[in-house]
Amino acid sequence: MSPHAPVPPVAPFACFVTGTDTGVGKTHASATLLRALHGAGYRTAGMKPVASGSEWRDGHWHNDDVAQLRAASSVAVPLGQTCPFLLRTPCSPHLAAAQEGVRITRAPIRAAFDALRRQADAVVVEGVGGFNVPLDAGAVRWNTADLAVMLSVPVVMVVGIRLGCLNHAVLTAEAIRARGLPLAGWIANRVDPDMLLADENIATLHASLDAPCLGELPWQLAPAAAAAAGRLELAPLLAAASRYQAEAAGLAA
């Protein structure tokens, strides 16, 4: 192809990244996915609708997860679109919000997501904690599973390869499908360098999860998304997203 030839358009893409637990590497996997999508020709934007745990730095509130997603995105967007609810206390979001007198509501998240989709070809939305984490404990109770349903996009599950991952992965996959969402794929993230029989556990996940494995991320003392991007296989994910969009369009017709 000529260096001056137009770049072929890509189909719009979005996904919701969840994890089998907190601390399984969702942010690293999401940032790696953003880098891989950009390498495939997408203009990318990461989003973390709710983040708890931030510190005042350089004149604004800083959260490491949000910063990593913004660094991995190829489209520059306002911080409020990346993270509509940036909370200070490092605890469950509904508790952090209560500490600050904030209510985590749907409308700002929906508006930010829609704005990102207008600016980027691919939007990767990272959840918080596991798949079913409370976002509000008041009169209007909702959680991260409700958030994924609201966005109505395919789900990518990050499995932290450590003791207990088999049970956590199967239960999370069941919870995703119970909400009517497709599990478009899963990523094995080696978070415990000393885990016994890690390869055998991953093989068991392949046999147990009726979804494609998008890749394995090795254990790293300081994970680097750019270096890991080549380890992810995008084709199954993009195919699953395309099928889901076609089915949704058929139901809406």
Q: How confident is the model at residue 1 (pLDDT cuts 50, 70, 90)?
A: very low
The DSSP code for 6 is P
Average pLDDT over residues 40-49: 97
CA separation, residue 92 to residues 166, 188, 229 (Å): 24, 24, 30
Per-residue pLDDT tens over the stretch 68-77: 999 999 999 9
Give pLDDT tens digits for 81-91: 999 999 999 99
Residue of 35, 38, 48, 162 marked active site: 48
Binding residues: 23-28, 52, 65, 126-129, 189-190, 220
Binding residues for substrate: 52
Quick check: 224 pLDDT over 90?
no
Mean of all residue pLDDT scores within the chain: 92
Higher per-residue pLDDT: 39 or 8:
39
Strand order in the sheet with 13-19: 44-47, 122-126, 13-19, 155-160, 183-189, 213-217
User: What SS3 state is found at 246?
Assistant: helix
> Which domains does the chain possess?
14-252 (3.40.50.300)
Q: Which two tokens mark 61?
A: 């509130």
At residue 2 the predicted structure's pLDDT band, cuts being 50, 70 and 90, is very low
pLDDT band at 220 (very low <50, low <70, confident <90, very high): confident
CA distances from 81 to 13, 48, 117, 154, 224 (A): 17, 9, 11, 20, 24
Q: Which residues are annotated as a binding site for ATP?
A: 23-28, 65, 126-129, 189-190, 220
Read off the pLDDT of each residue in 40-60 and give the average, rounded to a whole number. Answer: 93
Residue 48 designated active-site: yes
pLDDT at residue 18 is higher than 80? yes
Residue 83 near residue 50 (C-beta atoms within 8 A) = yes
